[in-house]
Structure 1
Amino acid sequence: MDALPEPSRCKRLKASSSRDHDSVDELVMAARPFEDRERYARFLQVQHRFHGSLQALYLDEQLNQRLPGLAQLSRFDAVETDLRDLGMPLPAAPQPVIATPAQALGWLYCSEGSNLGAAFLFKQTQRLGLDGDAGARHLAPHPDGRALHWREFVAKLDGLTLTAEEEAEAVAGAIAAFDSYRHHLRAVFTH
């Protein structure tokens, strides 16, 4: 009997963090960020905190060598432009995430994976009169499309050679990313 092939790294990351992912989805929807522009502006503050904290990872030279094109994927500048579109002052730059290179892979997996779910969020912004040209740039699809962009990212991430310890660190990074997002959501929407 042949052994079943081991699932890919991204499939393992998804399986290991699915509860965390689901709880973030539930919290986002409970915050009602698309009820009106004021609540959406709060959502942008959450996005600013999260994507801003990852900016150093997206610009990291070693990570860009391992994941070519990574620097171009950051949505932080788009979040800042969206805030300006709504007439909001830019918050202070968030504290950068401190992570080992392997943990950083989990953080990036979480951030890039959120692009898939952003399709639903992007549609919701249109009810507020926002779109990829004003107020919802950071949720707009990648020029190559969401699915193709995700498959390319997954192929790069799955193609990396990691030790068992680094694999565990990547999972820990993904879970930490979801924890961080939950923290930002609660901080912004419950004050």
Structure 2
Amino acid sequence: MQVPPPAQLPLSKQLKAGTRREHDSVDALVMRSRPFESLERYGYFLRLQHRFHGSINGLYDDMELNRLLPGLSELPRFEAVCTDLTDLGLACPPAPVPVAPTSTHTALGWLYCSEGSNLGAAFLFKQSQQIGLSAEKGARHLAAHPDGRGLQWRQFVALLDGLALSESQREEAVGGAVAAFELYRAALRNIFPAA
């Protein structure tokens, strides 16, 4: 069976294929950082989440992105991260410098990375319960959407895949997703103490 070229794949599949290495690298780095070993290490993880979600928070209010992805403004998790920090008695740092994607299409890649992380958060949420956290205390931003993770993700993917983008616009989206993973990886190395 012949595999279609990337531009013929649904955008979500092209983004997944184009970021597999970055995703796997970040995933392995998070696990090596042992964020659920203790509340102290989880505090570092929350600071990491604050850095990432704070830097992209403005994308969720962008008018053009909300036109392309209706309901986007209801999905950010930055405020929940701030509340989780407060739950642990940690100060919520000032909001980080917002990212400035070079185009709307690049921003789509950043959002793909952020929303895709919500699927992986199911495992992280279970881990957080092992150290006494919950959807009401300390792990709000990892908790499932009221409609469920799967439904929320399928709706987001359907909107992404329904966009009529040129090949170069799709490549911009992949570039944005790669940049999002790179920012997360750099922030993790900056925030977590060296093992």
TM-score (norm 2): 0.95
Partner of 1:122: 125
Q: Which runs of 5+ in 1 are unaligned?
A: none
Partner of 2:22: 20
**How many percent of aligned residue pairs carry the same amino acid?**
60
Whole-Å Cα distance in 2 between the matches of residues 174 and 52 of structure 1? 16
Corresponding pairs, count = 191
Deviations 1:88-134 (A, max 9, x none): 00111101011010000000000000010000000000011101000
Q: Tell me: CA distance 1:2–1:165, structure 2 relative to 1, closer, same or farther (3 Å).
A: closer
SS of the residue corresponding to residue 93 of structure 1 reads: coil
Partner of 2:13: 11
Q: State the shift of 1:7 in Å.
A: 2.0
TM-score (norm 1): 0.96
Q: Tell me: CA distance 1:3–1:31, structure 2 relative to 1, closer, same or farther (3 Å).
A: closer
SS of the residue corresponding to residue 142 of structure 1 reads: coil
Deviations 1:64-99 (A, max 9, x none): 111011011000000000000000001111010110
- Work out which of the residue numbers 99, 107, 111 in structure 2 matches 1:108: 111
| Superposition RMSD in Å | 1.6
Is 1:80 matched with 2:82? yes
Deviations 1:37-74 (A, max 9, x none): 00001000000000000011011111111101101100
Whole-Å Cα distance in 2 between the matches of residues 14 and 75 of structure 1? 22
Q: Which runs of 5+ in 2 are unaligned?
A: none
